[in-house]
A and B are shown apart, each in its own frame.
Chain A
């Protein structure tokens, strides 16, 4: 399926996604967008896993399984995060991350 695609393409893609995620996480103020950024970071890691698995150990499937785990855990994490965000919204009618500083100092 990916025959002939060199490894560094995957790596460039993954790194790009990763830093887009980091950038989004650091810059966007909306909690939902930040959650999406985290998903991007996770997915970039998944791509790395799959690519290295395919190229270095074609006979084994551990990288694939890891990816599946990450997807499952990410789904769970997303649901929990969204539940938290909804609760926060109910309390303060806002999901701006900078407003969430009640526990500072």
Chain B
């Protein structure tokens, strides 16, 4: 048995860095904070890789399955004899995999930010919050129980809020950060109710108990029905609501595109690779319970599938390159949710689960790479809009090469990483539901189309009139790009079926060429259309968008979901709920209190003369009182 207790340092180092740099940030030169943060994350990265190596390859398996290890467990709050909240570190295949994803991407983003954020006001603050985020996200994935997860869940929400609003002098950034916080908080309300319901039904928070073979969650809460579903299903759905909020699933997705107001490295780290997949991770973590609640799992699949298609359509119409990537992220996360939703449990049945985790892993690499590449482009051109770009391949050779690799990876062209994971998702979906498969297949084609639309618009086509000649980013920015490009190229060859599966038992899969070949074909079709329309500057794309008419306009305006929300909140909620409540508060609640205060004030004003400060006056009253009483008692006693 190998001791894993050192893994506590994976959490403590970023926390220490956050506290130290947060408190002393202004005392040192900004670059010192940057280097301290990056070094801290470097150590965390090495520790995570070491842990993963030992976990997957060194320690013994039990009956061929990877063990679930409690590397550290501390009884934090004792609520009742049975119910207690622990803080600890749980190592199992998905949490170890997530450690790798988070520490790698976070480390790369730290290095990248050293170059990207150079000279920015608030450089130290940026690195300090980045460390806080890394700490919270790592804490989220190694949580031993759902309550600990919830705590870190909120912490990542806070760091996301702080980083989206990093340029707090800009109104749009402030609005975006508030939007992100409020929408995810709203979803987290559902999550909290779900947690309470689940723990009420099962009497435990612990993941090992909850998802073990004899979980109380499989038996309890089945009898009581509410709106046609058992309470257990409801608790799962509420928990999924939390996950959907964090993972920007329809209809709680509206915050993610706006979150691109944050600095680009933040978008890469939080809003592409790590935090937004927390919802997927949550469902994967609770998967055995979800699997027992068929209807909940179906909803996960349909929400995932719909979001993925919906976001892909919008992504085809946007011009802001970060927004295209944001919708693409939503679409890919939808694919992961879909894969989880169609998955079974155990062995080859659990293909979808494996595929989802696999896609999460590869997606983290190529999406982080895309965002960091977009950052390098924005850095060079000082614009977010692709119609103000063109012909950049000459000026940014490294960015161009890595961006192309990422595009090929996300489009699912072999041998890049995205091909393998997306193929597994398609296979899993195909065996479950043909309609969902059609949606996923369509999304695969559209993904290729909008990514190459972006690629050709930025790197090909005519040169624009730039203010100054675009230049390649410094080495601190290109090195992470190259490393991530290597990851995006080779991550697909990791044998996930041997490592991360629903029941921790390895199984064999074979590439189903019947699905893989059409998938590559539709990706090539997507790329082909994009090439025809956008490689040379032409009017064809405009003609097509005009031909699509209202549909194009609707997609361009993100299907007016934001407006619907605004209508519901401003027109309906504000007018019919908030205003009456505010009136009641102002006039009834406050009015009562004001009356009390007014009466007290008037009365005390009248009687304050008694408190004259004249000692002899007091004494006179006192003596007269005594004499009065004496006379009274004398009178009473003598009669």
Contacts and interface: CB of A to CB of B under 8 A. Distances in A.
Contacts, number: 27
Contacts of B614: 97-98, 101
Contact of A100 (B615, B619, B620): B615
A2 interface: no
Interface residues of A, number: 13
A104 B610 CA distance: 9
A27 to B, nearest CB: 8
A103 B613 contact: yes
B623 A97 contact: no
Given A22-B623, A26-B620, A104 B611 contact: yes
A10 to B, nearest CB: 20
Nearest to B604: A105
A102 interface: yes
B619 to A, nearest CB: 6
A29 B401 CA distance: 100
Q: Do most interface residues of chain B lie in helix, strand or loop, or is the interface mixed?
A: helix
Contacts of B615: 97, 100
B613 A101 contact: yes
B611 A105 contact: yes
B272 to A, nearest CB: 66
Nearest to B616: A26
Interface footprint category on B: 10 to 19
Contacts of A103: 613
Among B611, B613, B620, which residue has the most Cβ atoms of chain A within 10 A?
Answer: B613
B613 A102 contact: yes
Contacts of A101: 612-614
A98 to B, nearest CB: 6
A103 B612 CA distance: 9
Contacts of A100: 613, 615
B156 to A, nearest CB: 55
A29 B623 CA distance: 17
Interface in B601-626: 608, 611-616, 619-620, 623
A100 B613 CA distance: 7
A26 B613 contact: no
Contacts of A104: 611-613
Interface string B620-639: 10010000000000000000
Given A22-B623, A26-B623, A97 B612 contact: no
B292 to A, nearest CB: 72
A102 B614 CA distance: 10
A104 B615 CA distance: 10
A27 B623 CA distance: 13
Interface in B571-627: 608, 611-616, 619-620, 623
Interface string A18-40: 00001001110100000000000
Nearest to A19: B623
Contacts of B616: 25-27, 29, 97-98
24 contacts: A22-B623, A25-B616, A25-B619, A26-B616, A26-B619, A26-B620, A26-B623, A27-B616, A29-B616, A97-B614, A97-B615, A97-B616, A98-B614, A100-B615, A101-B612, A101-B613, A102-B613, A103-B613, A104-B611, A104-B612, A104-B613, A105-B608, A105-B611, A105-B613
Given A22-B623, A105-B611, 14 more contacts: A25-B616, A26-B616, A26-B619, A26-B620, A26-B623, A27-B616, A97-B614, A98-B614, A98-B616, A100-B613, A104-B611, A104-B612, A104-B613, A105-B608
9 shortest A-B CB distances, which residue pairs? A101-B613, A104-B613, A105-B608, A26-B616, A26-B620, A97-B615, A104-B611, A105-B611, A104-B612
Interface of B: 608, 611-616, 619-620, 623
